[in-house]
Structure 1
Amino acid sequence: MPHKAKNLFSLARGKVRASWNPRNLYNLYKKTDFLRDEKTLFQKKWASKRELRAYHGEHIREGTLTTQIPKKLQGVVLPLGDDVTSEGIMANRFDDQMLEFDAEGNKKLKTPFAMQTFVHLEKRLDFAVFRSMFAASIRQAGQFIRQGNVTVNGVKIKHASYTLKPGDLISVKPEKVLFAAGKAKPSVEEAVKIDNRQIKKYNQYIKKCNDDPEKMWNVRLDKIKKREAGKLMDPKTQMQLQKANEVAFQAMLARLRELCSAAIFEDLITGRDEFLKTQTDDTKVLGEKLLKLIDQQFPANGADPVAPTAEGFLTPEAVIELLNERSTKLAQEAETKAEAAVEGSAEQKKAETVRSNANHLIEQRNKNMAGIGSKKLEFAIHPKDINHVSSIESPHTKNIVSSCLISRKAEFAGVEERKVVYAARCLIQEMKTNVADSIHDSYNEHQQKLLNPSVQDTEVNPRWLQLLGPLREKIDAAEAAENEAEVAQEFPWQKKHLYGRQDISKPYFTPWRFRPFISPSVIYPHHIEVDFTTCSAVYLRDPVARPGMSEVISPFPLINHEFANLYYIKK
């Protein structure tokens, strides 16, 4: 039978236990050096033994533990020369207690054999259940075992001192693991007290919202912005944003790779007004000019091209003049931005580049129109346009697109026909640029939504006040004790149940949460492989000592284990 628990977590005694109790953190924090120089050797051994016994097997009788202490401590020693470590690494990772010098004067890592003093305890079933993080303490692990909630290799074991062998499979009932690692279930009185406190604060909030809705709406928006900004700093959120950004970026590249003049030309001819409705104002103007130019040169009914003397006839020179005016306006705006920007800044350089490109386009268009009949000018043909033209089904559309985009200069009847084709090419190229810019803009808009997902209206939403509802009545503790299912109300922060008692049949907090202050006490063992999805673990092997480390988990340094080992091997 284990010792009775008598004030195990006393803050006055300050002993550190093998438990997840938060008082251990305070006791470990205030722990002072109990191996002072003025103590005798026996006092140091006794003090070390006293502190270590509080953590290692405090529920086992002293006589039983003393007989089980191994007389020879075993460890793993690396081959000669492999355990010599550079001084730079050792200076950052290890203190002087873990360093020693060999016969040649080389500094090397010490193998902490003394930490193997309590290695036999790690072979016990209750210690293995605790190390596997299936129980909150050694005593609770023993309780689970004695109640028949633990099996070894499929066989129910009810002895906490059962010695494990390498390869043994340990399984614990999941309900017991949830109980051990979960937050404590509050009583009805505690839950009512917390809920009433929350109801009081919620009623105060509703009164403030009704008195000054605009102010409270702005406070709400500020909280949302701060919360979203905090989420962006979370590493997991940053990883998700990077993945979403990569997906959107690859989608943008795929759309740009598929983009070609022939596809836009076909959509314009077949869709006409429907296609132009989906475009920007600038693209609509260009598309209308292109349609008029094409209808003049390639009538749909098979008639002859429209004569230049007809009313409202659009000449290629007028198209080039329109494009030049558009480029001139763009150059002037860029020049204004460059003058207003700081000298040598990125904004000034970008504006100057835009102005230079616009002026170059004007010069190039005028030069090409002047030399349209010379032998030097040749229409460039893009492979994407050739591939797309072959997939066009309509003969009329295919004739227009192929004539304007993939026909050679020699295939045209005269200079005027070449001018029409060149003007059409200039228009479709500008439309393609606008479509590419819209793809870039949609990608940038997607980026802004990722970084600012909760952009809301600054005006007060009247439905917001309606959703807050009326003032809530406090819960009566006496009525809740008799029938808590009827007394519980529907709150914005929880469904129709009392605080932490969503499922009253469970012995732990529901909806389930981790117990507080659990993370500092959870240490993953080297010698056990744990699977939390099935609440099972495999005892791989006995813990060993290696140069610079020991697989026996302990909150105390090596010097304490050395004195404790000296105490136990005195005979």
Structure 2
Amino acid sequence: MPRRLHQLKRPKVRQDWKKETLYNLSRLVTPPAANKTFFQQKWLAKSMTRGYHNPYVREGTWTRMFDRRLPAVVSMNHEYLARYDGSEMASGRGSGVEKNPKDELEGEGGRGGQSDRVDKTPYMHMTFHPLERRLDTAIWRALFASSAKQARQFVVHGWVKVNGKKMIYPGYQLNPGDMFQVEPERVMFATGARKRKANSAASDQDVRSEEADEEGSKSTSRRAVEEQDEQDEVEDEGSDAGAATLESDAEREAVSTKPEDENDPKKAMKKLVTRAKRILEDSKRKLSGKRQQELRAFAQSVRKTMSKHRGADESPEDTVEDFEAALAQIMTKIPDDAVAQASTSAQQTEVTADAITRASSSSSSSSSSSSNPQMQDPSKHDEYTARKDAELLHAALERARANPRDVTKPYATPWKPRDYMSAFAFIPRYLEVNQNVCSAVYLRHPVARPGLAEVPTPFHGETLALAFNWYLRRR
């Protein structure tokens, strides 16, 4: 088992989601063969390919698994299979028949006018196909672990089941139809962001993104100050400094309201409390006193929930459900208050002038034609803003309940995908994966077909051919 997995001076590609692996993949080339013997070429190819294809399997174990018979299939024409039953292959033997009915059908356009084009079958890409049957390799291919070594650890620790029974042997050979399942909490830990500290729910990538945002805001504010200084060279220094400070403050506000903060329920709730305060300040004259008290109580309960999130043993699910119920009650009462206030204001202000009637009719027609609620009746403005803020609050609470912040989890919460995962997020054809229950089915053994090999590998066919020749009996 290699001690130093990742090297940048002599790059070797590994089966993991590391940034070093991505960098080595970008530099991966076919080794030059001008100044090397055939033996050296084979040994170098073997070293490169074995470093990627499960190097945790001992070399002696792998040589016993090696098979010189590489599996492949040939695609058959469905029109030919529908027309003939196979007896035509034996007809005319010994009578000088040279042309096959299959060739005649292909000549008629059975392959869409591409009978002359034959895709090459990449046989050499199937050199390490026996390793794909291993349980740890299948777990890594199914995206249940961030590396083949981690998948091996899951199996040894007893977090994997095969056909409903616990399997602790990572070298178990899967058969077609076998179903393996990994503990969902282990999968969340393997594919989620790592914690910054053991007692904190923040992750390293969150800290890095915050630092990058701070540096970006400083650079943008610095650039804004320089541009402002260049434009206002004639003006006084005090006005220049004031304008730069205002612009930088506006940019800091824009950066502070970045969309990434919506994933953090704590920051989202802080914004919701601020929004609730603004609703109360803007709608004191329109909403009734009882509704204002309810909104204040609602904002206070949100603050209490924020304080509960800091504890390690608190679960926000019950409080979120209570918030939703209280929110629904408040929202059902706000339209009634608006209608009641509109009727009372109409009774108090009795205007009989025809001009005012025409003006009100014209304003109502323009507001009905306009889709912007700001241009409609001012009495409906508070109702619209309250509904909009309530919808935003409901969405934030839904996100907090679906992806809560829990410091007891071994992974960072709220859960986020691990860095550098997207470049490796693919599933081979011979696996059927269900990410909801963290289980997969090994459908069949991987095979090569014209133009396609089902064993994922980053190496060129020439490199794999040299590695295949190394493992043959006669070197």
TM-score (norm 2): 0.53
Partner residue of 1:43?
40
Task: Tell me whether 1:129 sits opposite 2:32 in the alignment.
Answer: no
Matching residue within 26, 30, 44 for 2:27: 30
User: Letter of the aligned partner of 1:546 in structure 2?
Assistant: R
For the Cα contact (< 8 Å) 1:112–1:549, is it kept in 2? yes
What is the distance in 1 between the residues matched to 2:247 and 2:410?
A: 42
* Kept after mapping to 2: 8 A contact 1:125/1:162: yes
Question: CA contact under 8 A between 1:35 and 1:47: conserved in structure 2?
Answer: no
Asked whether the equivalents of residues 193 and 203 of structure 2 are also in contact (C-alpha less than 8 Å), the reply is: no
1:550 aligns with 2:453: yes
**Which of 390, 413, 432 is the matching residue for 1:510?**
413
In the TM superposition, 1:56-95 aligns within 5 A as 56-79=53-76
Paired residue for 1:167, among 154, 170, 177?
A: 177
Q: Offset of 1:25 from its aligned partner?
A: 1.2
Change (3 A) 1:283 1:39: farther
Match of 2:433 among 525, 530, 536: 530
- Distance in 2, Cα, partners of 1:553 & 1:113: 13
Amino acid paired to 1:535: C
In the TM superposition, 1:331-346 aligns within 5 A as none
Q: Is the 8 A contact 1:283 1:434 kept in 2?
A: no
Q: Which runs of 5+ in 2 are unaligned?
A: 80-113, 219-240, 261-342, 376-399
Distance apart, 1:65 and its partner CA: 0.9
Any conservation in 2 of the 1:77–1:111 contact (CA below 8 Å)? no
Q: What's the counterpart of residue 7 of structure 2?
A: 10
5 Å-filtered alignment, 1:150-299, equals 150-187=160-197, 218-222=247-251, 286=358
User: What letter corresponds to residue 73 of structure 2 in structure 1?
Assistant: V
Task: Give, in whole Å, the separation in 1 of the partners of 2:163 and 2:248.
Answer: 58
Post-superposition CA distance 1:260-288 (Å, at most 9, x none): xxxxxxxxxxx9x969x9xxx99955489
The 2-side partners of 1:283 and 1:22 are apart by 73
Q: How many residues align?
A: 297
SS in 2 for 1:109: coil
Deviation at 1:138, TM superposition (A): 1.1
Secondary structure of the structure 2 residue equivalent to 1:108? coil
1:512 Cα deviation after fit: 2.9
Residue by residue over 1:87-131, the C-alpha shift from the partner in whole angstroms, topping out at 9 and shown as x without a partner, is xxxxxxxxxxxxxxxxx9934321111111111111110001111
- Deviation of residue 161 (structure 1)? 0.7
Alignment of 1:378-389 (within 5 A): none
Distance in 2, matches of 1:192 and 1:515, equals 10
Q: Match for 1:175: what amino acid?
A: E
The structure 2 residue matched to 1:521, chosen from 421, 424, 428, is 424
Query: Larger C-alpha radius of gyration, 1 or 2?
Result: 1
1:383-532 to structure 2, matched below 5 A, reads: 437-442=366-371, 503-532=406-435
Unaligned regions of 5+ residues in structure 1, if any? Answer: 83-103, 206-211, 232-270, 289-430, 447-494, 496-501
**Secondary structure of residue in 2 paired with 1:560:** helix
Deviation at 1:153, TM superposition (A): 1.3
2:8 is paired with a residue of what secondary structure? Answer: coil
Q: Which amino acid aligns with 2:411?
A: Y
| Distance (Å, rounded) in 2 between the aligned partners of 1:62 and 1:139 | 16
Q: Does 1:111 align with 2:111?
A: no
Deviation of the 1:230 alpha carbon: 9.3
Q: How does 1:357-372 map to 2 (within 5 A)?
A: none
CA–CA separation in structure 1 for the residues paired with 2:7 and 2:258: 42
Pair 1:283–1:161, CA change in 2 (3 A): farther
Distance 2:29 2:253 in 1: 45
- Amino acid of the structure 2 residue aligned with 1:43: Q
Deviation at 1:54, TM superposition (A): 0.4
2 CA distance for matches of 1:118 and 1:76? 17
Deviations 1:347-366 (A, max 9, x none): xxxxxxxxxxxxxxxxxxxx
Task: Output one character per residue of 1:300-323: Cα deviation in whole Å (capped at 9) or x when no partner.
Answer: xxxxxxxxxxxxxxxxxxxxxxxx
Render the CA deviation track for 1:428-449: whole Å, top value 9, x for unaligned. Answer: xxx7x98665433226979xxx
1:386-419 Cα shifts (integer Å, max 9, x gaps): xxxxxxxxxxxxxxxxxxxxxxxxxxxxxxxxxx
Shift of the 182–228 alpha-carbon distance from structure 1 to 2, 3 Å rule, reads closer
- The one-letter code sitting in structure 2 at the alignment partner of 1:549 is L
Partner residue of 1:567? Answer: 470
Partner of 2:50: 53
